[in-house]
Structure 1
Amino acid sequence: MGLCLTHPRAGYYSDGDPLGAAGDFVTAPEISQMFGEVIGFYLVNLWQQMSEPRSFTLLELGPGRGTLMEDALRVATRAPGFADALHLQLYEANPALRAQQQRRLGQYHPYWADSIEAVSEDPLLVIANEFFDALPIRQFVRAEDGWHERLVGLRDGRRAFGLAPALTPDNALPQALRDAPVGAVYEINLAGIDVVTRLGQRIAAQGGALLAIDYGYERTQPGETLQALHRHRFADPLERPGEADLSAHVDFEVLARSAAAVGLTVHPLVTQSAFLQRLGVVERAVALSKANPDQQEPIAAALRRLIGPDDMGTLFKAFCATSAGLDPIGFR
């Protein structure tokens, strides 16, 4: 999965633009400016709670076209002192997307990081929208004799899934899965745990917060969620290596445990709908409709996609872990 997505020459994210109608998927920031704008309000609120530090780092993981950050900073930089204190850092491997980010965010003089690390000892605010779902997972399958890791190999000259012959010890799996039935699948995102641990250590020491918005589940549970998307359609994950987007649902309980283990305060997980509404997305939609009466229906449609229970509203969750003493808006 990691090779298919990030191989420097043949990986899915190594070149081209996967977003939009001509790509393979559409993210919330591309649906409406409202998404990024209310996150800008969230950022200002945290900065103010931290006593408005004169220097801080804002790191976005997987910024896509830069749309979310452009919309967020258009709002956030209206707060006196915010723009002067800002050091913008972007983690992005795709050259084509980096070019778009430069066009949108060049005025903020961003720094592109080649690894997921903070580059200063200032307070650190991290945003990750649909980032953790694209990190490589490992899968384990319960067979008659116990758990085996699922791997990729060849069968009759074609790529195929199979099970490793060696057993995985029961004590290597969460307690909740020890009695899972035969055929159950367990997925673990070790890369996600590593990201939260490394950035969490910096946030705990320097002050700040990590905000992750993604689709996933609140509690660790069995289930196979690995999927491939090609041209907005589901595809066989093994059929087009490097040409299809691969993703899996995020286990937010694992991220929460990882954050808490390094000393962060983990705030209650909320749906994207609740998070955006607490930040005032409905009021923002009303204001946009009044200012642009000819766009009322597209604005209403975008709002439904962002917060509607049959769209992104409940499937997507907002996760936040902060240094001690912060009370992030949207999670209360």
Structure 2
Amino acid sequence: MNFSDRLKARIEAEGPLPVDRFMAMCNAHYYATRDPLGAEGDFTTAPEISQMFGEMVGAALADCWHRAGSPVDAGYAELGPGRGTLAKDAMRVLRSVGFNGEVHFVETSPPLRRRQAEALPAAHFHEAIAELPDRPLLLVANEFFDALPVRQRVGEEERHVVVRDNAFALDPASGDIREISPARIAAARALADHLADHGGAALIIDYGYGRGETGDTLQAVKNHCFVDPLAEPGEADLTAHVDFAALATAAAGEGVKTSGMITQGNWLETLGIGPRAAALAAKNPERAEEIAAQRRRLCEEMGSLFKIMAFHHPGWPLPAGLSAA
């Protein structure tokens, strides 16, 4: 019996699943059974598009660490680090300015852990944010929060996944939908609590919104195309737009400071991706068009959809390119 059939049997035996429970179960199976990234996978993230993305992240964190007094006990951490590509590119920049901290990954997928260990053999692995070491952290969460499950409500009614005519369906099928995510709030609080207790700064990079918009944003991607989220449970990446305002409120309650939200394109351009692209093209003239296309994809095609926000300990500076909330 495949995962979809097991899920149907469970719903028929135990009753409808709230949307967040369905999303959590599907993504747990999905990430446990594959490396979903790259041309042969289901989707491509910014670090896989160009080394420039990780380098800009590394430069922002290096600057933040330097302005914090270059604490020798600080470490680098990443939540859901994909193949480790972002960390590898960011660490190259951090090492170049004398940062000697350990690398810590929060990752539960065995296939992705293997890829991450290939990229950074000395990395330490953790199952949860609460397991991160008691030290200041330069932390990145790139496309981490979007995969955490969301609840959906139609008015005051919880939306569920049901089985009808041997197919999955949503109940209620339509209406004025509002999404909330206890899982994301819990993760934001755990992250903020760590920073408040031990110091450091975190960059949150994801697609989403900042003013409490409403509507159904649950989506699925398979083979680099959008598909019906209910069509092949466990065989597509399920995500939903991130409510950055809710994350900021949760983090502020734990005693850290938060930045305002900015688009990825504006942030990368402010940090200097233009001069970096020019330098790369000058060194690799045969790749000039490719590098220019990578910059356009990061700053224009993905640039307005993806947003950046930072959390930081009150005694640490705000990462470059961002403004206080």
TM-score (norm 2): 0.89
Code of the residue aligned with 2:266 in structure 1: it is A
Contact kept? 1:118, 1:124, Cα under 8 Å: no
Aligned partner of 2:113 in structure 1 is: 98
Contact kept? 1:118, 1:199, Cα under 8 Å: no
Which one of 7, 28, 46 corresponds to residue 28 of structure 1? 46
Code of the residue aligned with 2:144 in structure 1: it is F
Q: How does 1:1-332 map to 2 (within 5 A)?
A: 1-6=23-28, 11-80=29-98, 82-83=99-100, 86-106=101-121, 109-142=122-155, 147-163=156-172, 183-308=175-300, 311-325=301-315, 326-332=317-323
Contact kept? 1:59, 1:90, Cα under 8 Å: yes
Count of residue pairs the alignment pairs up: 300
Identity %: 46
Write the distance in 2 (CA, Å) between the matches of 1:32 and 1:300: 10
Contact kept? 1:40, 1:71, Cα under 8 Å: yes
The unaligned stretches of length 5 or more in structure 2 are 1-22
The unaligned stretches of length 5 or more in structure 1 are 165-181
Detail structure 1 runs of 4+ shifted over 3 Å in the superposition: none
Write the distance in 2 (CA, Å) between the matches of 1:276 and 1:321: 18
Report the aligned-residue RMSD. Answer: 1.4
Q: CA deviation at 1:322?
A: 0.7
Which deviates further from its counterpart, 42-51 or 188-197?
42-51
Write the distance in 2 (CA, Å) between the matches of 1:115 and 1:266: 22
Write the distance in 2 (CA, Å) between the matches of 1:16 and 1:48: 38
Q: CA deviation at 1:118?
A: 4.3
- Other structure's SS at 1:275 match: helix
Contact kept? 1:118, 1:202, Cα under 8 Å: no
TM-score (norm 1): 0.88
- Other structure's SS at 2:86 match: helix
Write the distance in 1 (CA, Å) between the matches of 2:53 and 2:291: 12
Q: CA deviation at 1:327?
A: 2.4
Write the distance in 2 (CA, Å) between the matches of 1:331 and 1:204: 19
Q: CA deviation at 1:280?
A: 1.1
Write the distance in 1 (CA, Å) between the matches of 2:113 and 2:307: 27
